[in-house]
Amino acid sequence: MTLDFDEGDELRDLRAAVADLAGRYGHRWFLEQARTGGTVQELWAEAGKAGFLGVNLPEEHGGGGGGMVELAVVLEELGAAGCPLLMMVVSPAICGTVIARYGTPDQRDRWLPGIADGTLTMAFAITEPDAGSNSHEITTTARREGDGWVLSGQKIWISGVDVADAVLVVARLADAGKGTLRPALFVVPTGAPGLSRTQIPMELVSPDNQFQLFLDDVVLPADALVGSPDAGIAQLFAGLNPERVMGAAYSLGTARLALDRAAAYARDRRVWGTPIGAHQGVSHPLAAAQVEVELARLMMLKAAWLIDSGQDAGTAANSAKYAAAEAVVHAVDAAVQTHGGSGLSQENGIGALVTASRFSRIAPVSREMVLNFVAQHDLRLPRSY
């Protein structure tokens, strides 16, 4: 068996190209969009035109023919430059993966080229107010009506509906019993009659908004159903493992941004004639966070590789998401502490990362649910829920 930890020239070139694009925008621009009600659509469009958004999608549908390794690299580098594009977690990673793998030829032709070049964005809706992490309790229902479907229910914490052209909605088939997850996935255009949304006010400094969705007898044609209703579980998890990998990439990019800022400050800032970075009380927390980042990246790339190889990536994807979330929380905390009071100044921008990093422990799956997964599947401990 051969283990090769060299990313190779293609991935290095991809990292450099993405870093160059994102560096022309930067963290200050990103925060300005967030604080003024702006959007990141200009960067999104450029990234799509350059082929970065669809690098994981099939070439025959306008993608780059790569996989989750390449897509995770793109998001990590965007984040490291201060411009993490949250909808990459959703549109190409979850929705693009599911449609590419399970969609009909017409669905792939209709949706994938736009997802790949960024001219079309798709949101994803699974979480509900009364279900939370327990997807077995979702109550959004899909019932057959003639040749089509009717969807009714509510969703919450749905990212980017305001910039999306459609939403991939997870619903329960009407003949499924309560407590039994028999999901089906439907593409719902955001302009569909009966679909409405309410924005959720957030303390998060981000141009990406969160919404509650209401589906009041949304009538859909037969071809809105993705794949087979009898294979809904497999289709759902085909999108959730990439989601966890991309959540890790998002966290790692933010962690790198924080550490780069903190290290630069610690090298230059002098107290009593000595750079503060010479003191172990400053350098050790930053170094420990750097170690965590490197370890989390290894697990993220392993999980992405497993997905691309068609292997079971459940444990690796969950572990990567957990490790990266812990790494970014520790990195941002150390960066703020290194800067002292200026770490919380709006001009500096580091303080804005505090809530963003904390959010990584909650979404797209909480650290507690990851630990439940590992305890049950890896340690074979009894279920606690």
Q: Which domains does the chain have, with CATH numbers?
A: 8-121 (1.10.540.10), 123-227 (2.40.110.10), 233-377 (1.20.140.10)
Q: What is the mean pLDDT of residues 10-19?
A: 98
Per-residue pLDDT band for 181 (boundaries 50, 70, 90) equals: low
d(C-alpha 68, C-alpha 303), whole Å: 9
Whose structure tokens read 């439940």? 372
Is 60 exceeded by the pLDDT of residue 179?
Answer: no
* Tens-place pLDDT, residues 128-171: 998 877 777 889 999 999 999 999 999 999 999 999 999 999 99
Q: What is the mean pLDDT of residues 336-346?
A: 96
d(C-alpha 151, C-alpha 153), whole Å: 7
Per-residue pLDDT band for 108 (boundaries 50, 70, 90) equals: very high
pLDDT at residue number 182: 78
* Tens-place pLDDT, residues 219-275: 999 999 998 887 778 888 899 999 999 999 999 999 999 999 999 999 999 999 999
pLDDT at residue number 175: 77
User: C-alpha angle with apex 157: 124 to 209, nearest 5 degrees?
Assistant: 90
Whose structure tokens read 């989750």? 68
Is 60 exceeded by the pLDDT of residue 352?
Answer: yes
pLDDT at residue number 102: 96
Tell which residue, 73, 126, 118, 94, has the closest CA to residue 248: 73
pLDDT at residue number 37: 95
User: C-alpha angle with apex 97: 94 to 99, nearest 5 degrees?
Assistant: 105
Orientation of helix 314-339 relative to helix 367-377, angle to 10°: 140
Per-residue pLDDT band for 183 (boundaries 50, 70, 90) equals: confident
- Percent pLDDT > 70 in the chain is 98
pLDDT at residue number 178: 57
